[in-house]
Structure 1
């Protein structure tokens, strides 16, 4: 597959958003979903609104990652495509070293948040199984320091405008990239609804880049189970020996 970022830029958004509708094939999607769903139960963390896997591990309290390779199934197909796109070329490790695997059932979502300073300011999200709508909010006022996502590493909550300024529809098998201004100046969330409504070219910023517009021409769709693979580069990484010293080991 050949991709050109210039052709997949979401022009209706501030600089720093790109959408590739056919990033993985249907067979690759099936294989990735099978890998996710067959993971042993201890790999899952059950949260109040979703469950997730964290690879290779959760970050420490000071947002440091213990050095360890990502499992082959998360990088064998997707990694070379990131390299072709060059999206992590300027990141400290020139490749993602951390992946969150989120599973959203109909009616589940995540409150508006930002990914924070623990990561290089770029997120690459692959969506599997079903589409979802992201709500994008403008920040409002200073950061409130209301907390972080405990398993994600650093997803600080920030004061925001009450209504989303933009909406992005991410289809199954697609890739959504946010970086730069889209990463630093906006919050993103997923509404806790069983049906996404008011879908169309006037409300969805990446409508012209969608693969299956006909599926949404009625203006809505019923949600199904969606799995997301969120790739990022953690800035601070420590080796096992250093981590033991940090934790007080002998």
Structure 2
């Protein structure tokens, strides 16, 4: 087992039992105060995390299943992805949602995909006339700041427990492939690629500063930009299909050393 995979496995298995006044593990005597809990892989983010338009097993579940196989111990995937969610929405949930906060406290592994929806107004501006770097640059800088804060919130909720945090970037923060070309043309696709590259740099910078692992979905889907990602996208051109979900899972596993 490679050192990084051992670290991930220990993080996932760090605390598998908790005390409970009411529940008992099968096979133990009634009144026992020990109940078995499984390591949690938690997905946070937008419609990419949620699996929108895929009609397939999402990559959070796939990743948890793969970790279960490699470690020999069951892991549970919890997907809290919300279509349309922005980094500000996730910040708010981490402050105010009991469900989100409690799930983070239980999660030895957290996977985050967020930030694309923060840039929707820039796309609207581009479609209405033009949106150069002076237009979208400040919004990307805000995403970087918010994602940095999100990672601080997660660390605080984990309270010093071993935690592996992955932040993915995007193959495109907007539509891509054949659908994007048919709907908006090659020029807008080139513009969205430039926005995506800058956004990805910001996301990975925030992850690096916080000690999280940045997972490069751009290269997984498009190489250095020369690959057509259409075969990995759902019919809307904006979300991964089943093949895309598998590709994201593979990228996450590679980042985890598996």
State TM-score, norm by structure 1.
Answer: 0.27
Structure possessing the higher radius of gyration over alpha carbons: 2
Greater relative contact order (Cα < 8 A, sep 6+): 1
Structure having the higher strand fraction is 1
TM-score by length of 2: 0.26
